[in-house]
Amino acid sequence: MVDNLSVPSSEMVIPEEISGLRMTRQRREVYRTLLQDRDHPTANDVFVRVKESLPSISLATVYNCLEALVQHGIVRQVNFERESSRFCPNVAEHGHFHDRSTGVIHDVIFKPGVNLADFLELPEGAVVTDIELTLRGQLGSI
Amino acid sequence: MVDNLSVPSSEMVIPEEISGLRMTRQRREVYRTLLQDRDHPTANDVFVRVKESLPSISLATVYNCLEALVQHGIVRQVNFERESSRFCPNVAEHGHFHDRSTGVIHDVIFKPGVNLADFLELPEGAVVTDIELTLRGQLGSI
DNA sequence: GTCGAATTTAGAATAGTTCTTGATATTGGT
DNA sequence: ACCAATATCAAGAACTATTCTAAATTCGAC
């Protein structure tokens, strides 16, 4: 996985191809944008940011690129309630804590060695392939 | 909480008021419908079912009733990816297992004594008020 | 360089949900 | 019981995020 959190956009090197997906200019810029500010932007947020380097990109292309990245397991699509989808370049298993007072979304990782399914009464024979966990609340005093 | 899982709709007794929400005829039928078949119906599913007893009800009213029930903590609204919201009369803390091959959604409860937040690296000072957990996969052999 | 396939673009279309407005029902005060 | 005030309902328009369509552009293999 490409991960150079503190490298400025223009210097960030993204290979020609990731997980079998050819990196076109648009896909590269969309992905670069996600890597750069890990604040879980919406498709429209990404659109606005990518336009700075590719002014002629269209919103439909941003949606196309995000879909391609998601389907190749390069990016994760995260949904909160019925809001716009948000996108996240962290594809490791993790959940999200949504701070209701600021709107900020924090990644939440499992403590080492924890297997979530061990704490659940799953239906007989259930094979879990995908976990989605969202916590909501506030940071700091109530 | 009103819970008479095996009682036919017409005999199910729902009080005049629940958690401060006046039970109008429409709200009562919407809630009765949810209690009757716990298959996580969408607003439109509920609309179709309620029309059997209240043929003149409108979809907007079903949305209004569901919203009122949700806001009074009588019903839970559950969102899966970007699909239509689904509604569930089980307001106890629980997650969902979504069987990808059949589309069926199963409630998943935490094993006794489990406190989910204990297994997570939460941000400093996080106060969790709400947990949403969705698992996806298949039942039976792969 | 040429050809076919993949990608991008712009705008139209779609689906779920919310909003608006006027009608209807319910409640509380007298 | 009557009336005014309030809450709820119905129907359809409006809205928003997303997907689709069709034409133009770009890409990669030959």
Mean pLDDT of all residues in chain A?
A: 90
d(CA A2, CA B105): 36
Task: Identify which of B105, B106, B59 has the alpha carbon closest to the alpha carbon of residue B83.
Answer: B105
Shortest-distance nucleotide from A21 CA to C1': C6
Q: What is the mean pLDDT of residues A80-107?
A: 94
| A130 CB within 8 Å of a chain B CB | yes
Q: What is the pLDDT of residue B10?
A: 52
d(CA A17, CA A69): 11
d(CA B91, CA B74): 7
> How many Å is the maximal CA-CA distance in chain A?
52
Under a CB-based contact definition with an 8 Å cutoff, are residues A123 and B137 in contact? Answer: no
* Residue A117, token pair as written in the block: 């399914």
Q: A142–B119: do the CB atoms touch at under 8 Å? A: no
pTM recorded for the entire structure: 0.88
Q: A110–B100: do the CB atoms touch at under 8 Å? A: no
Q: B133–A133: do the CB atoms touch at under 8 Å? A: yes
The single-letter code of the amino acid at B79 is N
Please say if the pLDDT value at position A25 is more than 60. yes
Q: Work out if A34's Cβ lies within 7 angstroms of strand C.
A: no
Q: What is the mean pLDDT of residues A45-60?
A: 96
| A127 CB within 8 Å of a chain B CB | yes
d(CA A107, CA A134): 10
CA/C1' separation B103–D21 (Å): 30
Q: What is the pLDDT of residue B14?
A: 75
- How confident is the model over B39-75, as pLDDT tens digits? 999 999 999 999 999 999 999 999 999 999 999 999 9
> Which of A127, A130, A134, A141 is the mutation pick for testing B, counting most B CBs within 10 A?
A127
Question: Quick one: how far is CA B73 from the chain centroid?
Answer: 10
